[in-house]
Structure 1
Amino acid sequence: MSSYRLLGNIEIVGPRGVAPLRTPRHQIVLAMLLVNAGHVVPVGRLVNAVWDGAPPTSARNQIHICISALRRLLKDVGLPDAISTRSPGYLLDAKPGELDLHEFDQHVVSAQTAQLKGESDEAVAYYSKALSLWRGEPFSGIECDAFRAIATNLKERHLTAVEDRIEILLGLGRTQEIVSELLELSAAHPLRERLHVLTMRALCGVGRRAEALNAYHRASHTLIGDIGVEPGPQLQNLYQSILADDRDAQPAAVPAVHPPVCTLPPAPADFTGRQKELGEITGALTGSRGRGHHPPIVTITGMVGSGKTSLAVRAGYELAETFPDGQLYVSLSDGAARARRPAEILARILRFFDLPADRIPDGLDERAETYRALVAPRRVLVILDGAARAEQVAPLLPGGGNSGVIVTSRTRRISLPGHQRVEVGSMEPAEAVEFLGRMAGRDRLRTDPAAARELADLCGRLPLTLRAAGSQLAARPHWTVPQLVTRLADEYSRFDQLGRDGGDVRTALALAYGAMDEQARRLFRRLASLPGREFDTCSAMSVLNVSADQAEDILESLADMYLLTATTANPLRYRYHDLVRLYATERFIVHEPDRRFLDVTPPSVALPQRT
């Protein structure tokens, strides 16, 4: 089996022996391909690596010559197809187990997973396997600026793995075997406080209390003298504990270093308003974090186009300091609004934490357990976008109270234990005009404030459609605001006009319409044929020929999906959002163009009461 080695002198071992890398250029190009194994490396990037940003005019041709030479070397050791040409450059395809850097990362992830499950001995074994792959300085012998930052990163990962392994050994009581190693490490890395903490703990563990105090003084002298900073809280607290000889109050274990994971999409640059809702979200997630054994949960619900996702993402960035170990964004549906299976989503989340594919369990329960184990010691914010039902969310909730969860949904039916609901609807008139101004220019809207307000109203004051209208004005500086108002005033073409620039509410509503049962669809479209803007249970009874209870249940199901809004409680009355009414009218014209449902109870007639 072939072997590509980066963690020390660069080596390639094929079925027929070791490939001789004859020139520094061969080493640099091969190292760049190996660091990016499995990904195409553009020729321009190889040129910059070899010539440090000052290439000759023949550089690209020389790279091609170098690749040809490397292919011959690899062919001679039995690896004829290792390097392939892929536009705009070249790709080296290292299979699992062939590249020592990949093996190192996989062993470290396995060690972290084992430790989270309480399998400390197994974790030590995985860390030992990972560290045994290191044969010296990475990229040893290569003098190239392009690799200095990469080498620094690799050495940091190596040293973190060393510290994590020692941390576990201390917890297992295997102190004697690591004292000498720690003394050497802390001397070699005098500015690394975690090593000093581990060294002092180990010295105390073998009864060398005076040496532990002396180790603190050396560390303090170095930190203050070299970089002008006082020792951190962990060092100082441990020093005071040793001075007091308080052996019953052992210092807390230094937590393993977990690189933060962030998969949030870019924050919307035109985010406007929603300060009340934003305050409710951040307050709920910061005020109750860490209490009890259940993560604080906020559900953001509202109709299509109301900006639920943008609000959740904005909150995610504002809460980054509260959840410093990661902010995960996961879409719970595909592009066609089909719900993704929880097992599929969990596999995706586990890959966010660099868990190798062969370490991801097959079953839903096992994946959920692994996910909770990975997240448990971390402070992570999880955003689950587009939930259709609570059962879809339940396996994706982290355990414990350290992390927080934001769930967005188009239905009020989402109900999770201990959650706080935040509803978003149409924007306030002033906020909607401000939103348009961010897209089209505030001065342009100030020339006709009345038209700007009318434009916002025609968009339903929804971020999705406001963004579409603002984009049209921004792209067409020769248009006036009243001109666009005139175009949108035609109800029969409003969706088409808004859909040209991304405000396709029609498509979003079509997905919601398709998810209803036939009776709900029938009521949804038939109510649009009634006179007036509001309707009641009697209206639904008349157009469907059903009982009062049935009519009210269907009306409430539409209200739960934010396709209707309840305007009064006693008696219950409902209305459409303006854009939803337009879509319902379209559906009525398509499916029942020749029918009218005008024989309904007038609003003044008392409604039958449910018993």
Structure 2
Amino acid sequence: MAGIHLEARGRTAGLTFQVLGELKVFGDQGVVPITAGRQQVVLAALLLESGRLQNWDHLIRLMWAEDPPETARTQVQICVSRMRRTLAAADVEAVIETRPAGYVLKIDDARLDLSVFRRGVAEAAVLGSAGRTAEAAALLRETVGLWQGPCLNGIPSEALALVAQHIDEERLVATESFIELELALGYHHQLTAEIARLVGENPLRERFRGQLMLALHRSGRQAEALESYRQGRALLMDELALQPGEDLRRLEQAILVEDESLRLERPSGTELHTVGTEPELSAKDARAAARTVVPRQLPVDTSDFVGHQHLVSETEGVLTNTSPDRATGIVVVTGRSGIGKTTFAARVAHRLAEPHFPDGQLYCQLRGARVDPVDPREVLGRFLRALGLPGPAIPDSLEERGEIYRSMLAARRILVVLDDAVGEEQIFPLLPGGRSCGVLVTSRARLTALPGSHRVALDILDERDALELIGNVVGADRVSREPEAARALTAAVGGLPLALRIVAARLAARPHWPLASMVQRLADERHRLDELTHGEMTVRASLSVTYDGLPDTSRTLLRRLSLTKGSTFPSWIGGALLDVPGDYPYPSDLMEPLVDVQMLDVAGVDATGELRYGFHDIIRLFARDRLAAESDESERRSAIRRVGGAWLALIGEAQQRVFGAHFMTGPAARWNPPAEHVRTILARPAEWLDIERENLSLTVESLAQEDEDGYAWELAVSLAPFYEARGYLDHWARTHRKALTAVRHSGNRLGQAALLASLGSMHLNRRNLPEARTALTAALGLFEDLGHTSGLGLCRRDLGILEQLAGHDTAAMGLLEQAERDFGDGSPWARASVLVQRAVILLRRGDVRLVEAELDEALQIWRDLGYLGGQARVLRRAGQLHLYCGRLDDARRELSEGLTMVRDDGDVIGEGYILHDLGRVHVRRGEFIEAGSYFARALSVREDFLDQAGAASVRVDLADLILRGGDTAKAGGLLTETLEVFGRLGMAEEAERAASLLARVTAHVTDERR
């Protein structure tokens, strides 16, 4: 049974679906990937209303707020189909039922965190009503702990995000409720900091403010309670021009007169324990400490700080840990340039300063990203002076300064903030020795060798926080007037806080500018960095500080990585860009210096075990900017060609492993990644190609745009067999058309011929016979001019398939025989493909003996080559032969074996064909229920890959099956639909069969009317 056990949260054991936070599904093996945006929207909608019907119109509105495409309903069906397969593969217990009006999700409520949360709130209400206050409070706090962030955080649907905001309100109400109960239990001392945080996060929420005032009052902090009221009143007047509500005003008056009703009737007995005092200082140190001042060196805390609230709480928890066995609390805040590390540290430090570190706060900017970081000896001198030690008393050596520094801090509660550290060696001398101090470090490096430290990694702001930041600077009313433009601004800078502040500051300085005007300025990537500057704030300068501190090799690699187009890329690509010898053992070592300073992100480890990396968009633009400024055309072109050559080398190896053969190649030079590395990533070549599909397609397009047409056409054509097997026909079309434009522009006739031939094969897969004929005929003419015999063989083979599909068997056989002569003995793979196609025609003629001979020879060739897909293709045709001869058990056996092979090989298109044939076998056996099941699965595969012809062919057999059951109306509807498809695609033979069956339907209806 699928599910996940979350330790230390008894009520959440067994949860499968999470909506209280990011949308997640948990299976036995961990998180089940639901990464496609539309699938997330559909699943979220079904989960929020589990057990209730979600109609088509509602789901379409959630996916497309305005102007849904004509295929919207089909796309929803595809999303649900894929989601069903994903959930089933992960053994997740969930049933998505199809209804005429839409879908219903059936799950156990105990598997959905939202249902568990609501049940917990209801149970707590019952306990509270029964006077069991402590149990109710504990249950409510535990239940609120289910939340992992804002409901459906990051869901790509504005409508769902609005629903999620209402659910977030339930969390706040529940939080208010358990605080109310805990205050009644006398936990005011323990609650003060927590309620203060909640007030900071929800400043206009009067119930939290009232609870804070009550907690402060009961803790003997009447002045602070009244100050909190004053701040809340001022905020309400400024923001809403309103006075506080009656309850809050009454509470203020009660605190002013120290109303007895505010006191608890009994002592709580549950006060917080405090840390024991430290050992006494020596007399000398005590005298020195007596002469110290209280340093207040923190930088300003910006009022427009947003986001990272959970990390603020996490950091505060480490720094304020009061357990007796704690050491000095050390938190290292890491993140890339412009991510807001200093702002984050300032916010935390100011929040903790008075209540937890009243003896002072030390701060130093260590300039770690610059070429001249501050020496720790100098920092210690500054800190000792700030602590009151006279200049002449400060010793010269680092060691002596460190001894005095640690002695002066030993018994004091001081927070040390070390901003922009270069490395551990800069930090070690600055660490205090006493347990009562805290240390907050920021760095672009991760500082993993700093013992006992807790790391907090800052990331980009999500859209909600980014919009709040812009609104804080330019005014919320401007954001509300142009919501789409505001969202476009956050997307243009990728949520990078520094860039957002610059954009907002420029807009604030020009209140007459529409937000859309800044969107337009940022739209041109070539000038985006120029726009991200305001006063002394500039993204380019911030990133340049890190860039200038890198070694030469890392700077070169960063520049050249900007030539890549994919969202992530593999580690070996660094070696190709730098032209590192192929025997370089660890390509990732080239990338890691850039990761260390967070100019490059680690995207994860893919299914082949390959480390993957990626850029933030702004850093990619910066790298591209540096490439244009510091690299010449020759360097750039050489790097592009090496990357293209590396992909060609890997694809060639993948072809050999999957197909047992290489296909058409040209003169483009190869660049070979390390052999051991190649063996690892190509252990499962089909899976590797799925992972790299985006990169490969984008590389073809990039090579074409850069006029590297020789590399572009070879890479595109070499990918075609994989696109065919996996059903990626859109990728096939897009890459080939881009490459075809390039080879036509350069006059590369071999490239044109190869691409046209491959496009013809693609049109054949789509059963678009007119388009296929045009492309193949053009390719044939070019190959004839070039005297390219294997190219001629490929064209004639595919033209033979075309004629066979059109019902012209004699012409088809002639072309296939010509193709066999063209291939000769030099291409056994191609010869096997011709043999299989000839067998199809011979079977229609009824020549069983020759069919068996052709298939036996083809099977032997593909077994020798180790090509599973080819063997499965032969087994499919053998199954059709057995079906023709009435050998139904043999047909089922051959087809079942073929089905196993195509699944092992990842050939989704082949799977659809064989499922269809197995359905036909079951029809002949009179097993109509089983036949319908196979047809339905075949149709699902065809529809998922938008295979119109294949889907239409399955519908003909489904119509035949339905007609046997007597539903003439439904059968007639299916057949009418398929006739239109066959006619448009020029599939005369299939159209004839559908028309014949439709005539039977018509005759049956006529008979019934008589």
Tell me whether the two structures share a fold, i.e. TM-score over 0.5. Answer: yes
How many angstroms apart in 2 are the aligned matches of 1:578 and 1:551? 23
In the alignment, structure 1 residue 265 sits paired with structure 2 residue 299? yes
Q: d(CA) in 2 for partners of 1:530 and 1:334? A: 29
2:600 corresponds to which residue? 564
Structure having the larger proportion of residues in strand: 1
Residues 609 and 406 of structure 1, relative CA distance in 2, 3 Å threshold: farther
Tell me if the contact between 1:303 and 1:561 (Cα under 8 Å) persists in the aligned partners. Answer: yes
Q: Number of paired residues? A: 359
Contact 2:416 2:440 in 1 (8 A): yes
1:86 aligned residue: none
Using a 3 Å threshold, how does the CA distance of structure 1 residues 409 and 288 change in structure 2: closer, same or farther? farther
Question: Measured at CA, do residues 337 and 307 of structure 1 come closer, stay the same or move farther in structure 2, by a change above 3 Å?
Answer: farther
Deviations 1:338-380 (A, max 9, x none): 2011111100001101211110001000000011111111010
1:428 Cα deviation after fit: 1.0
Q: Equivalents in 1 of 2:617, 2:515: separation in Å? A: 20
Contact 1:387–1:408 (CA<8 Å) still a contact in 2?
yes
Does the aligned pair in 2 maintain the 1:325–1:380 contact within 8 Å? yes
Over 3 Å counting, the alpha-carbon distance change for 1:263 and 1:527 in structure 2 is: same
Matched, 1:517 2:556: no
* Structure 1 consecutive aligned stretches of length 4 or more whose deviation exceeds 6 Å: 251-256, 603-606
- TM superposition shift of 1:556: 1.8
| Residue equivalent to 1:80 | none
Greater RCO (CA < 8 Å, at least 6 residues apart): 1
CA contact (8 A) 1:468 1:502 kept: no
Tell me the equivalent position of 2:591: 555
Distance 1:402 1:467, change over 3 A: same
Percent of aligned pairs sharing the same letter = 39
Displacement after TM superposition at 1:336 (Å): 5.2
Q: Structure 1 residue 551: deviation in Å?
A: 2.4
Specify the alignment match of 1:308 in structure 2: 341
Q: CA deviation at 1:337?
A: 5.6
Deviation at residue 283 of structure 1 after TM alignment: 0.6
Say whether 1:388 aligns with 2:427: no
**1:289–1:296 contact (8 Å) kept in structure 2:** no
Residue 614 (structure 2) pairs with residue 575 (structure 1): yes
Aligned to 2:565: 531
Query: 1:550: Cα distance to partner?
Result: 4.3
- Residues 91-139 of structure 1 show CA distances to partners (whole Å, capped at 9, x for unaligned) of xxxxxxxxxxxxxxxxxxxxxxxxxxxxxxxxxxxxxxxxxxxxxxxxx
* Secondary structure of residue in 1 paired with 2:572: helix
SS at match of 1:328: strand
**Residue 299 in 1 paired to residue 338 in 2?**
no
Write out aligned runs for 1:344-383 (5 A). 344-383=378-417
Query: Residue type of the partner of 2:415?
Result: L
Give runs of aligned pairs for residues 104-183 of structure 1, distance below 5 A: none
> 1:548 deviation in Å?
4.8
CA distance in 1, matches of 2:496, 2:678: 33
Which AA in structure 2 matches 1:504?
Answer: T
Q: Is the 8 A contact 2:293 2:386 kept in 1?
A: no
Aligned to 2:436: 402
Q: State the AA in 1 paired with 2:347.
A: R
For residue 569 of structure 1, what is the amino acid of its counterpart? V
Partner of 2:360: 326
Structure 1's 362 and 593: CA in aligned 2 closer, same or farther, altered over 3 A? same
CA–CA distance in 1 between the matches of 2:579 and 2:532? 36
Deviation at 1:591, TM superposition (A): 2.1
Once the two structures are superposed, residues 520-567 of structure 1 have per-residue CA deviations (whole angstroms, 9 ceiling, x without a partner) of 111111111123332212211211122554421121221121111121
Mapped partners of 1:480, 1:337: distance in 2: 40
Q: Which residues in structure 2 correspond to 1:202-241 (within 5 Å)?
A: none
**Whole-angstrom CA distance in 2 between matches of 1:414 and 1:329:** 22
User: How far did residue 481 of structure 1 move?
Assistant: 0.6
Alpha-carbon distance in 1 for matches of 2:556, 2:280: 63
The one-letter amino acid of 2:631's match is: E
Question: Given residue 625 of structure 2, which amino acid in structure 1 is its aligned partner?
Answer: E
The residue number in structure 1 matching 2:630 is 591
Give CA-to-partner distance per residue, 1:22-81, whole Å, 9 cap, x none: xxxxxxxxxxxxxxxxxxxxxxxxxxxxxxxxxxxxxxxxxxxxxxxxxxxxxxxxxxxx
Report the Cα offset of residue 446 of structure 1: 1.1
Q: 1:452-471, aligned counterparts within 5 Å?
A: 452-471=486-505
Secondary structure of 1:493's aligned partner: helix
Corresponding residue SS for 1:298? strand
Distance 1:334-1:575 versus aligned 2 partners, 3 A rule:
closer
* Counterparts of 1:328 and 1:374, CA distance in 2: 13
For 1:463 and 1:448, locate their aligned partners in 2 and report how far apart those are by CA, in whole Å: 20
Contact 1:300 1:407 in 2 (8 A): yes
- Cα distance between partner residues in 2 of 1:314 and 1:269: 9
Counterpart contact for 1:289–1:403, Cα < 8 Å: no
TM-score calculated relative to the size of structure 2: 0.34
Q: Which residue is equivalent to 1:225? A: none
- C-alpha distance in structure 2 between counterparts of 1:347 and 1:308, whole Å: 25
**CA–CA distance in 2 between the matches of 1:316 and 1:565?**
28
Distance in 2 of aligned mates of 1:356 and 1:304: 37
2:368 and 2:443 in contact (8 A); partners too: no
| Equivalent position of 1:484 in the other structure | 518
Gapped regions of structure 2 (runs ≥ 5): 1-278, 655-676, 682-1010
CA contact (8 A) 1:264 1:329 kept: yes
Computing the radius of gyration over CA atoms, which structure comes out larger, 1 or 2? 2
CA change 1:593–1:531 in 2 (3 A) is farther
1:505 aligns with 2:544: no
Closer, same or farther: CA 263–451 of 1 in aligned 2, 3 Å: same
Please say if residues 522 and 531 of structure 2, whose CA atoms lie closer than 8 Å, have aligned partners that are also in contact: yes
RMSD: 2.4
